[in-house]
Each structure stands twice: as C-alpha cells, then as structure tokens.
Amino acid sequence: MERIVNLYLRGMELENPQKHEDMVLFPITARLNQGPDYLTLAEALEKGLFEVGEVGPGGSVPELKATNNGEKPVLLLDGEELRGAKQNRVLNTTIMIGPKSSVVIPVSCVEARRWHGPSLRMEKSEHMMAHYIRRKKMAQVHRNLEINRSFRSDQSEIWADIDHLAHNLQVESPTGAMSDIYEAREKDLKAYLQAFSCIPEQKGLLVFIEGQPVGLEFVSRDAAFSRLFQKLLKSYVLEAINLKHEKKAGKKSKKNSEAANPVSLEQARVFIDAAGRCEEKRFQSIGLGVSCRYRSDSMVGAALEVDGSVPHLAFFAINNGNEQNRSWRQEENFPQLRIRKRYLFDEE
C-alpha cells in the first residue's frame, strides 16, 4: 500500500514563485483530503477554548500540560512558540489534541535565563522556531524516538544555537529569548514579509535561499494555513537574514557567496520527489494519530497522520551548502549560556 504522505506530496501543485533578494518561495495548493476540521493553536487560545500551562507549580522544562475544552481538535505545529509561564517554549513535534481532552506535550525551552513568571499559563506567540534550529531539533527528536521512544530534544544544544544566532545578528537578550531576536530584527523581517503573500487556497510553501532548497511546509486546510502563513514565513526569513550577515562577516565560502541562478519549477519538483523517497518510521503520536518521521542523506522530515489524512508535514534540507558555518565554538566571543541543573532535572 502506498504511503499516505506520498499521496499528499504527489498531489501538491506548485504555483508561480515569489522572490525577494536571495529567497524564492513557491506557494503550494492541493485538492487533497483535508482530514478533521480543526482549529490552529492561536485560534483556539483566542477563543478561550484551549489552555496550556506548566504541569505543576514547580514546572518541568521539557513538558507542558494542554487542555482542549472545545468541540473541535486543535493543531499545534512542530516549532510553534508559546510564551509566558516560567519560560518560553516551542513544540517538539506536531500534535493534534482531540475535543474535551488533556495531554502532556513535549516542548523545548527557547528562553534559557528565566524560570519565573506571574502566571503558570502560556500565551500565544507570533513566532515559530528559527528554521535552522528547528531543523536540528527535528533530527534530535528523531534520534530520541529511535532510542527510547521519547519526543525529547537536545535542550543544551538548542540554547547554544539560539545564543549563537543572537550573536550573529547582534541581538542582546537578558533572558536568552528567541523572541527577542525576532523583535530586534523586525525591520529586516518586514522587508521580506511585504514581498511574499499568501494566495487564495494556498496550503503550503517551498522555500529556496541562495538557489538551494531549504524547506517544505504543508497544512491540510487553507484557512488554517492562512493563519499560520506569516509565522511559518518568518522562520525562513530569519534564516535568509542570518545567511546575509554570515556573508558580510566573511563566514561563507566563495562558492556560496556567488550569485545564485534562478530557481526553476523543475528544481522545486525534484525536492518534493526526493521527500517521497525518504525512509519512513512511524511512532504513536502525542494526542491523535501517528507521528511519521522521515530521513535521507539530504533531508529530514515529519508528518502527522490522522484518520487517513495528513494535517501537517514538513521536510527540511540538511545538505544545502551552509552546514559548515553553523556550529558554535567555545572560542567565539559571545555570551555563554547559564544552564542550571534544575532546568533539566525539575529541581527547585
């Protein structure tokens, strides 16, 4: 039997590309099974139908408790940020939480130097984890699922990557918050965001930066995608901005600094076809459905499968020519993370 994710990949229609500087975006439309009628995380929080907070007064860095009080499932995307409580977090995997149910959800901290707050409840955020860090986190979760069936990430590496990104973009954050990077670079982000638009019936996007494929994102309902479009787009735009700063700082090779050739429709389709050839491993999801994980020499991906549909999938390139510039080094002169043991072991 053919994999469900392959039916979705093959059914994607690539629309006319949009371009700004070195970033090209192919909007994706599709006439595919939309699956359950769900709300996005932000929509459910806005309507007061959904609650997310610490698992208890003491909190636990890699976990939050989510409660759906509504009549529809709620979709939470891999990398989506929640703000507040003891520290800001992002989802470690895409999750769909059924009506009238509560689950403990796996998360990663994206604010290393805060463990306090006026409330134990989380609020919506307009941010998604920066693309490069999200891609690395996805690979970390893959490994932990294979080893111990856990949706855990490498928390210390995520903190280090956020600190390194802040250093690259010359952003100072008292608490080491990822959100501070987005806010400090709002002007740079705006120039890109104004150049790209969500078209009618759009359900996904495929992004190229400097002529190389970066990531593919798909959400099964166009109404949900339109709500998520800016948030998803910003995560890729921040990647483009960071690469520009690395180029200016002389951290990129001559080959990568050369002007990229125009991206063709054929190149975009090659990336989607390659996603369909990735090895698949299946794990019981948190909440509804099955978490399908994908890997090859050139990409890593994940999809949530629920009742014969795919509400969300994402595939990220891992060999796009920029990997050698992305490991942080102890000798670099940027603020070191103050990682406290209680973060990892739930101590007070």
What average pLDDT does the chain have?
Answer: 91
Of residues 323 and 134, more confidently modeled: 134
- The region of weakest confidence among 7-16, 67-76, 220-229, 328-337 is 328-337
The DSSP output letter for 177 is B
* 250-263 pLDDT tens trace: 765 544 444 456 89
**Full residue range of the structural domain in which residue 164 is found:** 4-35+130-322
Spatial separation of the C-alpha atoms in residues 183 and 36, rounded to whole Å: 34
Would residue 318 be called left, alpha or beta, if left means φ above 0 and alpha means ψ between -120 and 50 degrees? alpha
- Return the pLDDT at 247: 83
In a domain, residue 67? The reply is no
Do you know the residue count of the chain? 348
Residues 155-193: tens digit of each pLDDT: 999 999 999 999 999 999 999 999 999 999 999 999 999
192-212 per-position pLDDT tens digit: 999 999 999 999 999 999 999
Residue 336, domain member (yes or no): no
Per-residue pLDDT at 251: 61
Report the amino acid identity of residue 198. Answer: C
154 and 206 in contact (C-beta within 8 Å)? no
Residue 321 has pLDDT above 70, yes or no: no
Indicate whether 136 belongs to any domain: yes
- Cα first-last separation, the chain: 51
- Please count the CA atoms within 13 angstroms of the CA of 109 that sit on its side-chain side: 26
Q: What is the pLDDT of residue 245?
A: 87
Structure tokens at 268: 């975009």
Report the domain count for the chain. 1
Does residue 135 surpass a pLDDT of 60? yes
- pLDDT of 338: 41
**142-158: pLDDT as tens digits:** 999 999 999 999 999 99
pLDDT tens digits for 27-53?
Answer: 999 999 999 999 999 999 999 999 999
Which of the two residues, 74 and 321, has the higher pLDDT score?
Answer: 74
Within-domain flag for 348: no
Asked if the model's pLDDT at residue 94 lies above 60, the reply is: yes
pLDDT at 249: 78
Residue 252: what pLDDT?
Answer: 59
Residue 176 lies in a domain: yes
Cα–Cα distance measured from residue 291 to residue 30, given in angstroms and rounded to the nearest whole number? 22
277 located within any domain:
yes
The answer to whether residue 341 sits within a structural domain is no
| Residue pLDDT, tens place only, 106-125 | 999 999 999 999 999 999 99
One-letter amino acid of 148? N
> What average pLDDT does this structure show over 130-141?
97
Alpha helices in the chain (DSSP H): 4-10, 41-46, 131-148, 155-168, 178-184, 186-193, 222-248, 254-257, 265-276, 341-345
Instruction: Categorize the per-residue pLDDT at 328 as very low, low, confident or very high, splitting at 50, 70 and 90.
Output: very low
Higher-scoring residue by pLDDT: 345, 270: 270
Q: DSSP class of residue 324?
A: G
Q: Which percentage of the chain shows pLDDT scores above 70?
A: 88
150 belongs to a structural domain: yes
